[in-house]
Amino acid sequence: MTIPSIPTRGRTLDYAASVYDLLEPVCLLNKQAEYDLTILNTLDPQPADRILDIGCGTGILCQMVSARLQPEQGGCVTGIDAAGKMIEIARKKRGSNHCLFEAMAAEDLSFASETFDGIVSSLFYHHVPLDLKKQSLSEAFRVLKPGGKLVIADMHTPTTFMGKLVSHVSRWFFMQPQIAENIRGVLPELMVEAGFQPPRTVAHYFGYISVFETTK
Ligand X SMILES: C[S@@+](CC[C@H](N)C(=O)[O-])C[C@H]1O[C@@H](n2cnc3c(N)ncnc32)[C@H](O)[C@@H]1O
| Strand partners for 210 | 154, 204
Provide the 8-state DSSP code for 58. T
Residue 22 or residue 146: which is nearer to ligand X going by CB? 22
187 part of the interface to ligand X, by CB under 6 A: no
Residue 23 contacts residue 51 (beta carbons within 8 Å): no
Binder to ligand X among 51, 90, 105, 140 (CB under 6 A)?
105
Enclosing H/E stretch for 69: none
Query: According to CB under 6 A, which one of 50, 91, 98, 127 is a site residue for ligand X?
Result: 127
3-state secondary structure of 211: strand
From 101-109, 173-181, 182-190, 193-201, span contacting ligand X (CB under 6 A): 101-109
178 binds ligand X (CB under 6 A): no
Q: Residue 102 and residue 82: Cα distance in Å, rounded?
A: 8
Instruction: Report the residue from 43, 65, 99, 106 that binds ligand X according to the rule CB under 6 A.
Output: 106
- Is the CB of 69 or the CB of 151 nearer to ligand X? 151
> Which of 45, 55, 84, 188 forms a contact with ligand X (CB under 6 A)?
55
Look at residues 108, 101, 46, 40 and name the one whose alpha carbon lies nearest to residue 75: 46
Smallest gap, in angstroms, from Cβ of residue 35 to ligand X?
9
Backbone angles phi, psi at 20, to 5 degrees: -60, -40
Count of CB atoms situated within 10 Å of the CB of 70: 13
The residue number with the shortest CB distance to ligand X is 10
Give contact residues for ligand X (rule: CB under 6 A).
8, 10-13, 24, 55-57, 81-83, 86, 105-107, 122-124, 127-128, 132
